[in-house]
Amino acid sequence: MEPTILAPRKFARLATHPLWRGAGVTTLYAILAIIAIIQVFPLIWLLFFSLKDNQEVFNLSPFALPTHPKWENYTKVWTEGNISRYFLNSVWYTAASVLLTVLLASLVTFALTRMNWKLKGPVLGLFMVGLMIPVHSTLIPLFQMFMKINLTDHPLSIILTYTAFNLPLTIMILLGFYQSLPREVEEAAVMDGCSVNRIFAQIVLPMTSSVVATTVIINMIYNWNEFVFINTFISSDHLKTLTVGIQNFIGQYTTDWGAIGATLMISILPILIAFFVLSNRIVEGITAGSVKG
């Protein structure tokens, strides 16, 4: 019986040895480095792809560097391809819908978690039902509704649709964080004569800034990359976004692959910048709701 008793103890002492711990940390960093390279490689490949012309795309290896980088591809898509207009449309639709979604979701979550009223259970259930509705099943009903109220081919049709579909997920993310907020701060504010509106705007919102940043980036990614609603509800070229505008470089007989790559690279940059700026807040928002108090 002695070997079976001592073996785990010896193994435990060996596992806690500095040499083994150092090897474990090195292995972990090596695995993370490999994962990072796998994640970053498509972006680097897209950058090289956007600097090629059609001849290099078809004649060179997909992983080959461009022989003569075609930086004019970016100038071409920004000026001749009307990408500047599509880019501004994407920014406008995304910013407006994200702002409206996060504001409404914060108000709803505040009412559901910090107030006592009879219908808050059914209201929460109604919002959660929205998570189970397939997006594509609503295209025809929404199109018919927007036609009746003259909102087809109008920016409001996109902003309202994005807001409606993103509200359930945003509320669900905010819900866990709001429930963990200490009520003592609000009670102290009420004792000082603070109104409900001021409690929400000056106390609760600043305390939830980390999780709000998480919902902002999640909503931004969805809205920025969305294609189906834009392609269905918007027909005017001057109201289209980047995801739809890429089709301008796909012709019946020829396709400008370098211009498509440049457009995709331009469309990715805002998301990358927003992620790097808000990355610390996103991590805080994801982990903060798991700790009470």
What is the pLDDT at residue 101?
96
- Both tokens of residue 19? 């040499």
Give residues with Cβ within 8 angstroms of 259, minimum separation 6.
Answer: 73, 76, 77, 81, 249
Name residue, tokens 């001849």.
55
Give the end-to-end CA distance of the chain in Å, rounded to a whole number.
48
Does the pTM surpass 0.85? The reply is no
Dihedrals phi, psi of 250, to nearest 5 degrees: -110, 105
Q: Burial level of 136, CB count in 10 A (0-12/13-18/19+)?
A: exposed
Q: How many residues does the chain have?
A: 293
Among 94, 4, 101, 49, CA closest to 263: 49
Mean pLDDT of 16-23: 60
Mean pLDDT of 93-108: 94
What is the pLDDT at residue 19?
55
State which of 63-72, 101-110, 114-123 shows the largest mean pLDDT.
101-110
Q: What percent of the chain has pLDDT over 70?
A: 86
pLDDT at 253 over 80: no
Q: Are 233 and 157 a contacting pair, CB within 8 Å? A: yes
What is the pLDDT at residue 292?
44
Domain-wise residue ranges, the chain: 2-50, 83-288
- Tell me the CATH architecture of domain 83-288: Orthogonal Bundle (1.10)
Read off the pLDDT of residues 61-80 as tens digits, 9 standing for 90 and up.
Answer: 777 888 888 888 888 888 87
pLDDT at 157 over 50: yes
